[in-house]
Amino acid sequence: MIVLTPPLDVSDTVPVGMLRHRLALGVALVDAVRGGAALGPLRVELESIGPYRPPADRPAGLPARLEPHGADRHAARYAGAIAKLVDRCVANALDTSWVLRIYAPLDAAARAFDPARDARHYVPRRMRLTPVFDAGVPAATPLNIRQITLWPGAAAPLPSTATCVRGRVLRGPDIASGEPVPYARLAASVPASETNFAAATVVGRGAADERGEFVLVIEARAMSGAGLVNPVPLRLWAFAPPAQAPDPNDALASVPVEDAGTATDSDILRGLTVPAGYTEQVSKTLACNLGETLSGTAATLLLP
């Protein structure tokens, strides 16, 4: 006689407990060019909670990090050392904002940010985010999940049909002796004849890395309409950070901290707002052929 054993299902189990985690803060990283999830590897490090620096991850002594859930989503649970620091800030009525560092290492095994091991698929960002609280603890709502846009880096894979500018931002008397302007912000606008940025129509944005290198993709709306011409005349703008000496011990210290507060969606999170302290430095006209990349001297911005 053959006896068939029915497969087990949930009704055959006995609950012995329930484990629940409360989210303290989560981020979803977005590719500025594709508009979808940013591609990895990506790293989100926790620089500070209020006035406190979180302890390094054990046992390797790595910088404190948010836990990756796929390449583009990272989260910190309200537990352990993080919960203790959050509770201390709340109990003492201190600042409860978090400062995060976001970058794309060349490989997932990277211990910390190293410019020599940067994939340069995305320009690093530092964000100040403030969790939403409920009764003194991070609220269990989607309000504590923030969507952050990342601008393409110098080696970012771009669509083959993209019209883009690949250049550098330098400071000095001439291009040959110019020094890189790290983490400048860039914008392209139409019409090319408009010299007032506030009155221009922005059709592309980007950010430079620590070497002053940037990639700026031109939006399709710059190349449409009855007056379409090829090449497309544009004006390229550079916004530079306050001058500061680089920190030899911290390659990301020069990246501006952008304060997005408690917002779940804003121009700051989407990278559309020039960081505080930045100033308009220079602009120049250029012409981009449709579906091609403009580079070299024509794409170099020289600041005085």
What is residue 19's predicted lDDT score, i.e. its pLDDT?
Answer: 45
| Partner residues linked to 235 by β-bridges | 189, 285
Q: What is the pLDDT of residues 93-131, one digit of tens each?
A: 999 999 999 999 988 777 788 888 899 999 999 999 999
State which H helix or E strand residue 180 sits in: strand 179-180
pLDDT digits (tens, 9 = 90+) for 143-179: 999 999 999 999 999 988 899 999 999 999 999 999 9
**183-221: per-residue pLDDT in tens?**
999 999 999 999 999 999 999 999 999 999 999 999 987
**The pTM is what?**
0.88
d(CA 161, CA 176): 31
How far is Cα 165 from Cα 299, in angstroms, rounded to an integer? 6
Give the whole-angstrom CA distance, residue 191 versus residue 232: 10
Task: Assess contact for 238 and 189: CB atoms under 8 A.
Answer: no
| Cβ-contact 182, 211 below 8 angstroms | yes
- Domain positions in the chain are 23-150, 164-241+278-303
- Give the three-class secondary structure for 223: helix
Helix, strand or coil, per DSSP, at residue 221: helix
| CA–CA distance, 54 with 3 (Å, rounded to integer) | 59
Q: Write down the CATH number for the domain with range 164-241+278-303.
A: 2.60.40.10
Tell me if 38 sits within 8 A of 150, measured CB to CB: yes
d(CA 190, CA 203): 7
Residue type, position 44, single letter:
V
Interior CA angle at 72 toward 60 and 206, to 5°?
110
pLDDT in tens, 67-85: 999 999 999 999 999 999 9
